[in-house]
Amino acid sequence: MQDTKDQVIFTIVAVIIILLFLGVLFLVMLFYYNNKKGQMSKEQQLMKATFEKQLLESKLEIQEQTFDMISQEIHDNVGQILSLAKVQLGIMEQRHTFEEDLVSNVKESISQAMTELRDIAKSLSSERMQLLSLPESIAQEIRRINRSGIIKATVSVEGVEKNIPDQQKLIAFRMVQEGFQNIIKHAGASEIKVSIRYLEESLHISIFDNGAGFNPEEELKKREGLGLQNILRRASLVGGKANIISRPGEGTTLEIQIAYA
């Protein structure tokens, strides 16, 4: 009889212990899940902070390059045109005459300088960029390049245009601008072909030039290759990728792919 009682006590205590164990196990699992959630949340916050830092760095870089571009454009373009106008006015002053042709040339130079300044202002304005679509902004940039008469640039758009967030659009446009700058500065090209393709999942932009070409791997290793590195980094920053295909003497193709957010 005592044995049976002992067995019952043992069974009851065992059941209680098992149930308690299950209860405690449940609580431990909740603790574990909660900790995991905390870790994930911290990682996400860290990733967000890193992304924002990179974005800020990129914006500062773009700003720095923009200042360089303004300085260069004013010096090489507007400055030259206005210098010419000044020389023409100087000639008129020396001759003490009023030649209609010369006045007309001065007016034309000043008007050209104004157009150049307007173009620079347009291509730099982020606000204007937000109002226009990406193909429109690129087309505007191409018109500016074509006006120089040195390079013939064309753009083609395929697919139905899709909305891209302003931040992504601006960075994509700045990448294209950086590509154009590289072509104008280094490639010695006579032709630029831009193709914008809106695919199902992502936007593809390809910029081809028939210039001197180069070895991308070597160029990316050099410090001078910072412009190219910037393009690659900015592409990854907006969740996309960039690829440079080039060989000496065979021109260059810059491919940019950006997933829709």
Contacting residues toward another protein, per CB under 8 A: 5, 8-9, 12-13, 15-16, 19-20, 22-24, 26-27, 30-31, 33-35, 37-39, 41
Task: Pick between residue 43 and residue 218 the one whose CB is nearest to another protein.
Answer: 43
Rounded to a whole number of angstroms, the minimum distance from the CB of residue 13 to another protein is: 7
Distance CA 256, CA 207 (A): 9
Q: What does the block give as tokens for 32?
A: 């574990």
Task: Pick between residue 5 and residue 96 the one whose CB is nearest to another protein.
Answer: 5
Rounded to a whole number of angstroms, the minimum distance from the CB of residue 28 to another protein is: 11
Read off φ and ψ for residue 193, nearest 5 degrees.
-120, 120
Distance CA 220, CA 231 (A): 11
Rounded to a whole number of angstroms, the minimum distance from the CB of residue 248 to another protein is: 54
Rounded to a whole number of angstroms, the minimum distance from the CB of residue 194 to another protein is: 43
Distance CA 170, CA 208 (A): 21
Rounded to a whole number of angstroms, the minimum distance from the CB of residue 212 to another protein is: 54
Task: Pick between residue 10 and residue 51 the one whose CB is nearest to another protein.
Answer: 10
Q: Are strands 240-246 and 152-158 parallel, antiparallel or unpaired?
A: unpaired
Task: Pick between residue 32 and residue 67 the one whose CB is nearest to another protein.
Answer: 32
Q: How far is CA 164 from CA 8, 54, 157, 173, 179, in A?
A: 72, 20, 15, 12, 20
Rounded to a whole number of angstroms, the minimum distance from the CB of residue 216 to another protein is: 43
Task: Pick between residue 20 and residue 121 the one whose CB is nearest to another protein.
Answer: 20
The C-alpha angle 104, 106, 110, rounded to 5 degrees, equals 115
Beta-bridge partner residues of 157: 196
Q: What does the block give as tokens for 223?
A: 């410090």
DSSP states along 179-211? HHHHIIIII--SEEEEEEEE-SSEEEEEEEE-S
Task: Pick between residue 41 and residue 215 the one whose CB is nearest to another protein.
Answer: 41
Distance CA 148, CA 12 (A): 94
Q: Is 116 exposed, middle or buried (0-12, 13-18, 19+ CB in 10 A)?
A: buried
Rounded to a whole number of angstroms, the minimum distance from the CB of residue 19 to another protein is: 4
Task: Pick between residue 38 and residue 165 the one whose CB is nearest to another protein.
Answer: 38
